[in-house]
Structure 1
């Protein structure tokens, strides 16, 4: 039987108390926001507490909140980078989203949860590769999707649309070579065909 989201939100509030910054329930999903200083402690409790039992980490991703909410005062106060983790309780057949904001926008860092869920390994590497979020305690934090020589983090909102360089395999040199991006600007105009006779054929 699936646990009711309202019941789950209340249980998380009671069990975690002041360790969480906020618990919200919307569209049938519960989101918990935590501070990086208690992130590992909260995640351990979510997995090990018999009344929660979030045994499985099913996803972890980075988020860039730059420009989120327009130019309002709230958007300027919000930290830029966050890590969002999706957990599954097989025991109670329910899901939980946990969000932790990295303290520093220039060099975002949060603790690694590999010691709690080893499945976080490649997810954390992906968040590092695409957003530049560092995971303190990760045993092998290196790029996973882009090349080792790649400059920058392509999912950051300030990353140039065309990138910096492009790479290709050179048959003569028998290796991957880098060169400045060469994208021909072009105009894409949809072609519309109209029946000039005015009647149906």
Structure 2
């Protein structure tokens, strides 16, 4: 472990104290886990504490742990993972928070701390159905307005439910049930015994 990573670990433990649920160091990176009720205040500490100064939110995404570890995961299903950068100290940290309710996953919004969280949180809502309390414009960002469900959830059907296409007779976009026939594609190498022998 490098001295820089040891300094970051000490600064995180000192600044967050009881708000820090766990801290792990792996592959030269620090990952912390905070509880959902401490998430907003912990993120403010990460941004404002003089020893940390994580001024920049690089990324925020949702995660569905329902099949993690081949389905042996017993913790909460949904998490939000954020990546922060401190330009002043030139270090990074990954922050993970689990939504306490699997049926309606809700965590605090970070848009008041980092305005860049706006679109990231909308994407996590769109794809995973994670709600961000305090977000002033939480709506779909990448799927269609009439889209049903959240496509990055592990239990979402691979082919979806409906497809969208332009109908030239009606001169508008229409929705119809998915008409994809599941099939298994066998590569040519397996299908043709003499492939590549010439």
Scaled by the length of structure 1, the TM-score of the pair is 0.91
Q: Does 1:154 align with 2:151?
A: yes
Change (3 A) 1:139 1:3: farther
1:170 to 167, 170, 178: 167
Aligned-pair RMSD on alpha carbons? 1.5
In structure 1, runs of 5+ residues without a counterpart are: 197-201
Please state how far the C-alpha of 1:71 moved relative to its aligned partner. 4.4
Aligned counterparts of 1:194 and 1:43: Cα–Cα separation in 2: 57
In structure 2, runs of 5+ residues without a counterpart are: 190-194
Please state how far the C-alpha of 1:3 moved relative to its aligned partner. 7.5
1:150-178 CA distance string (max 9 Å, x none):
00000000000111111112222222211
Aligned counterparts of 1:187 and 1:114: Cα–Cα separation in 2: 45
Moved more, 62-71 or 50-59: 62-71
Aligned counterparts of 2:197 and 2:47: Cα–Cα separation in 1: 65
Count of aligned pairs between the two proteins: 192
Q: How does 1:114-153 map to 2 (within 5 A)?
A: 114-153=111-150
Aligned counterparts of 1:166 and 1:86: Cα–Cα separation in 2: 34
Q: How does 1:28-177 map to 2 (within 5 A)?
A: 28-72=28-72, 75-76=73-74, 78-177=75-174
Change (3 A) 1:63 1:184: same
Please state how far the C-alpha of 1:6 moved relative to its aligned partner. 2.2
Aligned counterparts of 2:178 and 2:48: Cα–Cα separation in 1: 50
